[in-house]
Amino acid sequence: MPSGRTGVGRRARVVHAFSDSEAFGRRLARAAGLGYARVAVHRFPDGESLVRVRAPAGTHAFLVRSLHDPNAKLVETLLAADALRRAGARSVTLVAPYLPYMRQDTVFRAGEPISQRVVGECLGRAFDGVLTLQAHLHRTPRLGDVIRGRARSLSAAPALADWVRRSARGSLVVGPDEESEPWVRAIARAAGTSWVVGTKDRLGDHTVRISFPPLPRAAHAVIVDDIASSGGTLAETAHALRRAGVRRIDALVVHPLFGPGALARVRAAGVRRVLSCDTIPHRTNSIAAAPLMAAALS
Ligand code: R5P
């Protein structure tokens, strides 16, 4: 049975979190002043999942799960939405600090799906609302274009700008590719510093090529990216910056997916500090996203 009855009582608004998102769920509940309950998952021998939520679930349920490593998690998350409604919730909002499958937003090669739309349609049918942070929206301007209902992707720019202002004053804010330009510009403006973006060619899952226009003189650069997966983008950006004479390089990432060996690769490229938002539990976590997301819930 689900445990973690903390503060559920007869509250109307309750955060329900899977155990792999427990720390984030508790921080969110605390910051938003909501009740908290844990979602339990039983795995059958054949690999199917049985999800159990706290009942009664509260009138408005906020289901928290960061959806990195998404394939099994997506199914369990859809099952939990159904369970919450059957346990009395009149509205169910998914709070996914990291939302997957947003990068496949077009058919890059014949025979591929548009994964962003498939996943977006499932979530839109299951939930009344979806809240996430810095979804990878490139060709799709708004999250609402792929998820019906109340769908919102918050910008991580204020939180990253705050770090640059406090810990890397006067540094050059660097985006690896043209896609990153709007938010790189927003971070640099809010931090009161200059910015530049590169050009990226992806040659494979682990291999990218990055180039820059002539750079402004800078002793200290902060690379910002929404996702770090193989670490290739951060590492190659750092190599390009070093070739251009930048000696001190830090990196800020919103979603630290970091596969095996990825962080070591980034460090070996000469990145001094690697920091991330806590949307995915990782040892680089140092920027809290829960307060931003809690503010959006109210
Ligand atoms: C891609 O467009 C994203 O913004 C990231 O730059 C990318 O996902 C990083 O992946 P990797 O760490 O594998 O280079």
- 215-256 pLDDT, tens digit per residue, is 988 899 999 999 999 999 999 999 999 999 999 999 999 999
Instruction: Evaluate if residue 1 carries a pLDDT over 80.
Output: no
Our answer on whether the CB atom of 134 is closer than 6 Å to any ligand 1 atom is no
Our answer on whether the CB atom of 230 is closer than 6 Å to any ligand 1 atom is yes
Q: What is the average pLDDT across 275-281?
A: 97
Q: What number does the ligand 1 atom closest to the CA of 258 have?
A: 12
**Atom 3 in ligand 1: which residue has the minimum CA distance?**
227
Our answer on whether the CB atom of 176 is closer than 6 Å to any ligand 1 atom is yes
Tokens of 278: 């806590």
Q: What number does the ligand 1 atom closest to the CA of 136 have?
A: 4
Q: Letter for the amino acid at 36?
A: Y
Q: What number does the ligand 1 atom closest to the CA of 233 have?
A: 14
Would you call 162 exposed, middle or buried from its count of C-beta atoms within 10 A (0-12, 13-18, 19+)? middle
Our answer on whether the CB atom of 232 is closer than 6 Å to any ligand 1 atom is yes
Task: Output the pTM of the full model.
Answer: 0.94
Instruction: Evaluate if residue 10 carries a pLDDT over 80.
Output: no
- C-alpha of residue 92 to centroid of ligand 1, in Å: 31
Residues 39, 63 contacting (CB under 8 angstroms): yes
- C-alpha of residue 192 to centroid of ligand 1, in Å: 26
Q: What is the average pLDDT across 61-90?
A: 97
> Which pLDDT band, with edges at 50, 70 and 90, does 67 fall under?
very high
Our answer on whether the CB atom of 231 is closer than 6 Å to any ligand 1 atom is yes
Our answer on whether the CB atom of 97 is closer than 6 Å to any ligand 1 atom is no
In the chain, DSSP assigns E strands to 13-18, 35-43, 49-52, 60-64, 91-96, 129-133, 150-154, 172-175, 195-197, 199-202, 208-211, 220-228, 248-256, 273-277, 285-287
- CA nearest neighbour of 138 among 222, 202, 231, 72: 202
φ and ψ of 93, to 5 deg: -110, 130
Mean residue pLDDT across the chain = 95
Instruction: Evaluate if residue 116 carries a pLDDT over 90.
Output: yes
Our answer on whether the CB atom of 229 is closer than 6 Å to any ligand 1 atom is yes
Residue predicted with more confidence, 8 or 262: 262
- C-alpha of residue 110 to centroid of ligand 1, in Å: 22
Q: What is the average pLDDT across 165-177?
A: 96
pLDDT digits (tens, 9 = 90+) for 94-107: 999 999 999 999 99
Instruction: Evaluate if residue 27 carries a pLDDT over 80.
Output: yes
pLDDT-above-90 percentage for the chain: 93
Mean pLDDT lowest for which of 8-22, 39-53, 164-178, 188-202? Answer: 8-22
pLDDT at 21: 97
**Atom 9 in ligand 1: which residue has the minimum CA distance?**
228
Q: What number does the ligand 1 atom closest to the CA of 231 have?
A: 12
Our answer on whether the CB atom of 20 is closer than 6 Å to any ligand 1 atom is no
- C-alpha of residue 234 to centroid of ligand 1, in Å: 8
pLDDT at 218: 84
Helices (H) then strands (E): counts for the chain: 8, 15
φ and ψ of 204, to 5 deg: 180, 180
Q: What is the average pLDDT across 155-177?
A: 96
Our answer on whether the CB atom of 175 is closer than 6 Å to any ligand 1 atom is no
Instruction: Evaluate if residue 2 carries a pLDDT over 70.
Output: no
pLDDT digits (tens, 9 = 90+) for 129-153: 999 999 999 899 999 999 999 999 9
- Helical pair 181-191 and 157-167, crossing angle rounded to 10 deg: 40
Q: What is the average pLDDT across 106-113?
A: 97
Our answer on whether the CB atom of 22 is closer than 6 Å to any ligand 1 atom is no
Q: What is the average pLDDT across 264-279?
A: 98
Our answer on whether the CB atom of 77 is closer than 6 Å to any ligand 1 atom is no
Our answer on whether the CB atom of 226 is closer than 6 Å to any ligand 1 atom is yes
Tokens of 229: 């997966």
Q: What number does the ligand 1 atom closest to the CA of 176 have?
A: 6
